[in-house]
């Protein structure tokens, strides 16, 4: 992945983003989400100057590495999820709610 013999071991956000093939903005979001650790070389925490260790980038890639899900499993998941939905007639449902509301108003004491 990354040449560990490089004399400058810290990567700029642009260099780290290039290795990951993402934008600097996406790298920042991953960093803020705690997915990729960084080194703050700035003077404070208000606006950190982020640099990335090549080993941290490699570890992130290794954690995110995955294999494709088998097609059969995808179909099982899709069919299991769709089985939980119920198709309703929204007009009938609204009419039933309106009728129930009218019955409730009619049963209130003190109403004429």
* 29-75 tens-digit pLDDT: 999 999 999 999 988 778 889 999 999 999 999 998 887 766 655 55
How high is the pLDDT of residue 105?
Answer: 86
Mean pLDDT of 72-85: 56
- What is the helix, strand, coil percentage profile of the chain, to 5? 50, 5, 45
**pLDDT(2) > 80:** no
Residue 64 makes CB contacts below 8 A (sequence gap 6+) with none
Residue 87's pLDDT is what?
Answer: 75
Cβ partners under 8 Å of residue 57, min gap 6: 1, 2, 11, 16, 19, 20, 36
Say if CB 27 and CB 16 are below 8 A apart.
yes
Q: Per-domain residue ranges for the chain?
A: 1-112
Rounded to the nearest integer, the mean pLDDT of the chain is 82
Where residue 4 falls among pLDDT bands split at 50, 70, 90? low
């Amino acid at each position: 992945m990354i040449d560990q013999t490089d004399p400058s071991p810290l990567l700029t956000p642009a260099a780290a983003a290039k290795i990951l093939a993402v934008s600097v903005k996406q790298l920042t979001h991953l960093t803020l989400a705690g997915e990729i650790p960084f080194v703050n070389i700035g003077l404070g925490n208000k606006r950190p100057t982020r640099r990335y260790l090549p080993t941290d980038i490699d570890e992130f890639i290794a954690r995110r590495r995955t294999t494709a899900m088998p097609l059969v499993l995808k179909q099982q998941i899709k069919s299991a999820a769709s089985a939980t939905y119920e198709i309703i007639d929204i007009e009938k449902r609204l009419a039933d709610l309106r009728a129930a509301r009218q019955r409730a108003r009619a049963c209130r004491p003190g109403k004429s």
